[in-house]
Amino acid sequence: MEIDEFEKIVSEAVLALPDKFKKAMDNVSVVVEEWPKSYIAKGLLLLGLYHGVPKTIWGRWQGLQIPDKITIYKGPIEFLARGDRKKIRKLIIDTVVHEIAHHFGISDRRIGEIERKTK
């Protein structure tokens, strides 16, 4: 998949979030990179990464801060989807939602609990 098509799906995933989350997102950018510097995290292929300070621990003491960043990794997503465009789209959407959850201070453990309840 070409990078511009991949980035478009990432943008669509952000735009498809419920309004209350889009309005609450603050000081965060979402970018696409080809591969992470380290492909593996905790024995799993890294699809996305949240870099920043979750909103749950923001405080006045922090003052001005650099924007948070969510990176979505194209290579691992395409690898896991084996080139299937529907699977690529689903992995992108799932990864965007997962990393934005981290922006709101939701842990991987809690995300897993929520996912199990919705299946």
Domain count, the chain: 1
CATH of the domain at 11: 3.30.2010.20
Residue range of the domain that includes 87: 3-57+66-118
Answer yes or no: are the C-beta atoms of 13 and 97 closer than 8 Å: yes
Any residues with CB less than 8 A from the CB of 51 and at least 6 apart, and which?
68, 69, 70, 71
| pLDDT of the chain, 119 residues: tens digit per residue | 999 999 999 999 999 988 888 888 878 899 999 998 876 656 678 999 998 877 666 554 555 667 789 999 999 999 999 999 999 999 999 999 999 888 888 777 777 776 666 65
- Taking the whole predicted model, whether its pTM rises above 0.85 is answered as no
